[in-house]
Copies of this chain bind each other. A is one copy, B any other.
Amino acid sequence: LASGSDLTAVSDAVRRRNPRGQGQRLREELLQAARDLVTESGDPQALSLGAAAKRVGIAAPSAYRHFPDARHLKIAVVRACFADLAHARSVAAEGLTDPGAALLARAHAYCRFALANPGLYQLMFGPDPQLPHELVYESGDSPGRAAFHDLAESIRTCQDTGVARITSDPLVLAATVWSLEHGMVSLRINRPHFPWPDLDSTLTEALTRLLDLQPPPPPHGQLHR
């Protein structure tokens, strides 16, 4: 009722209704609000249609103009997160020629993403019957499944170039590597007060042993351990 200038950054005081064709804009705002709710609370449960609507400054039923139901809002959030994670993983390996170094870089990027976005990570990888199969690793062309095969390929490359001297099936190894990454981050997320050892060095050492990785031809002589 009282004119508040603290709600919207740009517009004057009251929320300006979106012009004709731009219902899209509110959709984006809802999506972002939902992400922020989870990010800020660190709790996947914090994602709800009503809370997102409230945060954007509209009444809850208005959200139904943009999402058929609450489930689809969640799906949209998770889909965006998978895209972000894939991006972070590929950016991390950019310019790295040694396949072992690239593999390690992607693994660290995965963990960094998880620890930086614990709530969203739990949303992506937690159990959730609401999320459709094609999104979360269940079906063949899901973004998560693509990342998994990417990891397996990356391991195969290491094997082919002699960087990884282990000879097991790369798909089986990929499952183990992914399990290790997931276990490390999800335990750290779930038990924040436990005296965890440094993740970076622990992960590097574990992957090196698991895959029998050879250090790259040292440019300067910088080695682990």
Distance between Cα atoms of A184 and B190 in the complex (Å): 16
Within 8 A of B (CB), among A161-213: 166, 168-169, 171-172, 175-176, 178-184, 186-187, 189-191, 193-194, 196-197, 202, 205-206, 209-210, 212
Distance between Cα atoms of A212 and B189 in the complex (Å): 28
Beyond A178-B183, A181-B183, 7 additional contacts (C-beta under 8 Å) are A125-B190, A166-B209, A172-B197, A175-B196, A180-B180, A206-B210, A210-B210
Residues of A within 8 A of B (CB): 43, 122, 125-127, 133, 136-138, 145, 166, 168-169, 171-172, 175-176, 178-184, 186-187, 189-191, 193-194, 196-197, 202, 205-206, 209-210, 212
> What's the dominant secondary structure at chain A's contact region?
helix
Q: Is the beta-carbon distance between B180 and A179 smaller than 8 angstroms?
A: yes
Oligomer: number of copies: 2
Give the chain B neighbours of A145 by CB distance below 8 A: 194
Q: Is the beta-carbon distance between B197 and A187 smaller than 8 angstroms?
A: no
